[in-house]
Structure 1
């Protein structure tokens, strides 16, 4: 599992992507350079985290929504289980 991003990182990244979406791509190094141009100051660590999150958001937007797999009920709780029980208790 990855590290959870703070609200500051998420908010800053989405604002930067909305203001200039064509400057960001799936390339981390290009995103670092464009963040350096668009923002004033900030630490190197903060720029790297924002660039990484921008890569993740771009990848997510290009791939589209994921399809969920249908969930299966646990074994032994299907209708077959109840049919077997009803046959066990039938009087002949």
Structure 2
């Protein structure tokens, strides 16, 4: 079982994923850098949660 993502995290993640789907990779480290470029996320923890969620979405696409 995992943690449940808040609606803020889901909304930001889906917006980023919809706009930049082709640019995200399958690795967390690369996605963390991309999230930092594409969005102004105030905290490191939120950025990492969003990057992890994006990574999961990319892996589910394949």
TM-score above 0.5, yes or no: yes
Aligned partner of 1:81 in structure 2 is none
User: How far did 1:41 drift?
Assistant: 4.0
The answer as to 2:37 corresponding to 1:37 is yes
Structure 2 residues without counterparts, runs of 5 or longer: none
Alignment: residue pair count: 62
Higher relative contact order (CA closer than 8 Å, sequence separation 6+)? 2
Higher Cα Rg: structure 1 or 2?
1
Residue by residue over 1:36-86, the C-alpha shift from the partner in whole angstroms, topping out at 9 and shown as x without a partner, is 101124200000000000011111111xxxxxxxxxxxxxxxxxxxxxxxx
What RMSD in Å do the two structures reach over aligned CA positions?
A: 1.0
List structure 1 runs of 4+ shifted beyond 3 angstroms: none
Structure 1 residues without counterparts, runs of 5 or longer: 63-92
Higher helix share: 2
Are the aligned partners of 2:26 and 2:59 in contact in 1 as well (CA < 8 Å)? yes
Are the aligned partners of 2:13 and 2:54 in contact in 1 as well (CA < 8 Å)? yes
